[in-house]
Amino acid sequence: MKNGYTIGDVWSFERHHQALPPPDAPSHVVLGLDGGTTSTVCVCIPLQHLHLHPHSDPPPLLARAVAGCSNHNSVGEAAARETLEQVMAEALSKSGSNRSAVQAVCLGVSGVNHPTDQEMILSWLRPIFPSHVKLYVQNDSVAALASGTMGKLHGCVLIAGTGCISYGITEDGREARAAGAGPVLGDWGSGYGIAAQALTAIIRAQDGRGPQTMLTNSILNTLGLSSSDELIGWTYADRSWARIAALVPEVVSCAEAGDQIANKILVDAVQELALSVKAVVQRLCLCGEDGNGSFPIVMVGGVLEANKRWDIGKEVISCIHKNFPGARPIRPKVEPAVGAALLAWNFLTKESKGNCYS
């Protein structure tokens, strides 16, 4: 370690930048990172623009970098740490900047479920960045919420991608979450949950425990398999959750074609996702005492994207409105990594104001 920096090839670009600094290199930047089970995204945003145009929509990106999974529960601590460092280094390299220019970093990472998770990731970051850099670690749901509210932490967010989680926060800082415990512990409305039930339905149809379903031919054809027996080997050859979740479009297509088994899987997923939102809203009383109060509900994730006639996101919103008519659905204009960068700036600004009055 040297001057607080780790020694590694991912930061070798800094030596070149120091020797030949780009003429338009930004003086100060913030980094925002969204780390999920499928991929990890890091963005670099100029701090000066945020100071001058705090409500610009969206803020300009100096650079964006993408890497693989950074959930330590899925890939282990060593691989997660390597991914986080790699994607941050790539974003800074693309931006023509370096770690000395960074003022704050906010990471929204799936798998951060306890203060010990936060402290573990902070322990990875502290040796990487100079001591002046402010570091913040949150669950990825916090960054997703901020992507819909442009950095303001109030309301509820529903994420449904490979995994799923519902998270909410009140204006006075009270928090609650539901689901998000991973596929083994019941994220049934997630992409993994939907696809895993479809695979189970195929096996049940094959051995006589369940009715025949269009899912069999659809999924076997997609995977290039000739029989349901081969599905067992395919499933256990690679335990990646994202690999299984990628089959959700086949389930939607079969439901649209009239398959009752596929339709029931999606209906159950909608109920599960709406239930997770209901649990959070009720615990925080986001809807007010009469249940009709207005609050934002940010919708994030591939499962909720409206790209099919069987629109899971639309059905979830309809289900939520039955209980909370004041819920205001928001489809974010920026990605969660930008939400994380906005949070980094907000946290940094609050600390600066606090120091002024201390």
DSSP state, 100? Answer: G
C-beta neighbour count of 305 within 10 angstroms? 15
Contact 106, 341 (CB under 8 A): yes
pLDDT tens-digit map of 240-268: 888 999 999 999 999 999 999 999 999 99
Domains defined for the chain, CATH in brackets: 13-150+335-349 (3.30.420.40), 183-330 (3.30.420.40)
pLDDT in tens, the chain (358 residues): 333 334 468 998 988 766 555 666 668 999 999 998 889 999 999 988 777 766 667 788 999 999 999 999 889 999 999 999 999 999 999 999 999 999 999 999 988 989 999 999 999 999 999 999 999 999 999 999 999 998 889 999 999 999 999 999 999 999 999 998 888 887 889 999 999 999 999 999 999 999 999 999 999 999 999 999 999 999 999 978 889 999 999 999 999 999 999 999 999 999 999 999 999 999 999 999 888 899 999 999 999 986 689 999 999 999 999 999 999 999 999 999 999 999 999 888 887 765 554 4
> Which residues, in sequence order, are bridge partners of residue 327?
295
Report pLDDT for 19: 55
Report pLDDT for 53: 65
Q: At residue 252, what is the residue type?
A: V
Closest CA to 145 of 323, 301, 271: 301
Tokens of 31: 């980094």
